[in-house]
């Protein structure tokens, strides 16, 4: 794979950045289409998008730095590299926190807006992982399977070695999650269901795919990678909230 797609004079178009841009574009188009149909305030949608992108950027970078503390201590220059070094889960958490703060400031129904946003988030992640494939990051472990892919010109992934195509797996999975969430959104009006479904589905898929990752710079928590630890926590927390809401609704119905 070649990350440098086109060079025009001093300007180079990189595959990773291009896929991120395409993902944001289509995610925003889907978001605005659904927001208009559900009669959400366009002003808040645009503001939440910008807050989410900023929070996501900061969260993804901060979590990466947290996994790289020993390397940063030996080479502080890593802190100045904004072109690479991001963790998806940090972006998700940062984006959600930014949206939560905005919703509190303007007294918006946070879960309703989360339900609206999460299919677009999954869609953007699908394109983002295609960018990872072009760049060679987030690569898989070595494999002898027919399903493996081999990089020949990557600056990140090992070249000439058959690897599990984790980027492709997560891209296809993310697109699938997007369609499942859209399907679910048409069949429920209860606030938070779509948002919690996204957190559980994405975390479960990410937890499994992490076993097949080959890059070892992602940090570890015991026998789990940092992302697996976060995924497990999110699955348990989101599931517990859904169960609690179910029993609360049943109790309120009985005592109404």
pLDDT tens for 104-152 read 999 999 999 999 999 999 999 999 999 989 988 889 999 998 889 999 8
Terminal CA-to-CA distance of the chain, rounded, Å? 61
Q: Is it the case that residue 73 has pLDDT exceeding 90?
A: no
Give the 3-state secondary structure percentages of the chain, helix then strand then coil, rounded to 5. 65, 10, 25
State how far the alpha carbon of 117 is from the alpha carbons of 40, 108, 195, in Å.
12, 14, 8
Phi, psi of 221, deg, nearest 5? -130, 95
Q: Is it the case that residue 170 has pLDDT exceeding 90?
A: yes
Residue 99 and residue 117 in contact, taking contact as beta carbons nearer than 8 Å: yes
Using CA atoms of 123, 126, 128, 134 in order, give the dihedral in degrees to the nearest 10. -150
Q: Kindly state the DSSP code that residue 76 receives in the 8-state scheme.
A: G
Predicted TM-score (pTM) of this structure: 0.88
**Angle 190-125-68 (CA atoms, 0-180°, nearest 5)?**
115
Q: Where are the domains of the chain?
A: 4-250
Q: What is the mean pLDDT of residues 40-61?
A: 92
More confident residue, 69 or 161: 161
Q: What is the mean pLDDT of residues 66-82?
A: 76
The sign of the torsion formed by the CA atoms of 150, 165, 182, 25 equals negative
Q: Which two tokens stand for residue 35?
A: 């927001």
What is the three-class DSSP state of 37? helix
pLDDT of residue 68: 76
More confident residue, 85 or 11: 11
Confidence band (pLDDT; 50, 70, 90) for 10? confident
What are the helix (H) ranges across 75-148?
Answer: 88-105, 110-135
What is the three-class DSSP state of 144? coil
Confidence band (pLDDT; 50, 70, 90) for 79? confident
Q: What are 204-255's pLDDT values in tens digits?
A: 999 999 999 988 666 677 788 888 999 999 999 999 998 888 777 666 566 6
Confidence band (pLDDT; 50, 70, 90) for 181? very high
Cα–Cα distance, 256 to 249 (Å, whole number): 10
Q: What is the mean pLDDT of residues 5-18?
A: 79
Q: Report the chain's mean pLDDT, rounded to a whole number.
A: 88
Residue 155 and residue 136 in contact, taking contact as beta carbons nearer than 8 Å: yes
Residue 103 and residue 192 in contact, taking contact as beta carbons nearer than 8 Å: no
State how far the alpha carbon of 25 is from the alpha carbons of 31, 62, 165, in Å.
10, 25, 25
């Amino acid at each position: 794979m070649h990350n440098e797609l086109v060079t025009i004079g001093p300007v180079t178009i990189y595959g990773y950045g291009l896929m991120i841009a395409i993902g944001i574009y289509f995610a925003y188009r889907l978001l605005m289409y659904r927001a208009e149909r559900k009669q959400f305030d366009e002003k808040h949608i645009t503001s939440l998008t910008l807050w989410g992108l900023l929070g996501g950027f900061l969260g993804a970078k901060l979590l990466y730095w947290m996994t790289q503390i020993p390397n940063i201590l030996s080479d502080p220059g890593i802190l100045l590299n904004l072109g690479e070094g991001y963790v998806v889960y940090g972006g998700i958490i940062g984006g959600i926190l930014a949206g939560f703060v905005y919703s509190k400031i303007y007294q918006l129904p946070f879960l309703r807006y989360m339900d609206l946003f999460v299919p677009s988030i999954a869609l953007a992640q699908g394109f983002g992982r295609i960018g990872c494939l072009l760049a060679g990051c987030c690569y898989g472990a070595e494999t002898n399977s027919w399903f493996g892919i081999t990089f020949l010109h990557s600056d990140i992934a090992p070249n000439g070695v058959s690897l599990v195509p984790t980027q492709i797996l997560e891209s296809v999975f993310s697109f699938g999650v997007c369609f499942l969430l859209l399907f679910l959104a048409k069949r429920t009006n209860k606030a938070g269901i779509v948002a919690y479904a996204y957190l559980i589905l994405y975390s479960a898929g990410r937890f499994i795919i992490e076993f097949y990752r080959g890059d070892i710079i992602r940090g570890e928590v015991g026998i789990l990678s940092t992302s697996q630890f976060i995924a497990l926590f999110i699955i348990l927390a989101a599931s517990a909230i859904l169960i609690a809401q179910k029993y609360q609704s049943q109790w309120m119905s009985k005592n109404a």
